[in-house]
Amino acid sequence: METNRQKKIAGVLQKDLVNILQKAAQDGMKGIVISVTKVHVTSDLSQAKVYLSVFPTDKRDSILEGIISNTSTIRYELAQRTRNQLRRMPELTFFVDDSLDYIDNIDAALKGEDDDPIKNPEILSKKHKK
């Protein structure tokens, strides 16, 4: 279970990461929207898992690769913004949040746009707990 401190730090990181990533997207990636859907901070505050949603989805993998390769720069920028709130900046790990895709798949199936998942359960992607 997350403590209030973890939640508070996750909230601060999420807000600042949104600003950093959106500024980067404006500077070099026209028409791309990056949102930070969740941030989970470990109990010792040393690690932060950052879940991103990228639109359009066909650019998702290349955007994630770019963000991962710039993790140290992003972490430095984040440290500058949060230096009055955090003594140590957690290590950042970025993941794609695919829950919207999962919802879209279910939605399409319910509308009859896809094969019937009851008759063919193989079409539903296997959702893994993160």
Q: What is the pLDDT of residues 77-102, one digit of tens each?
A: 999 999 888 888 999 999 998 877 77
| pLDDT at residue 103 is higher than 90 | no
4-97 to CATH, choices 1.10.357.10, 3.30.300.20, 3.40.50.1970, 3.40.50.2300: 3.30.300.20
| pLDDT at residue 11 is higher than 60 | yes
How many angstroms separate the CA atoms of 84 and 126, rounded?
A: 42
Q: What pTM value is reported for the model?
A: 0.75
Nearest CA to 17 out of 57, 43, 50 is that of 50
By CB atoms closer than 10 A (0-12, 13-18, 19+), residue 72 is exposed
Greater confidence (76 vs 102) lies with 76
Domain with CATH 3.30.300.20 in the chain: 4-97
The predicted structure's pLDDT at residue 114: 59
| pLDDT at residue 127 is higher than 70 | no
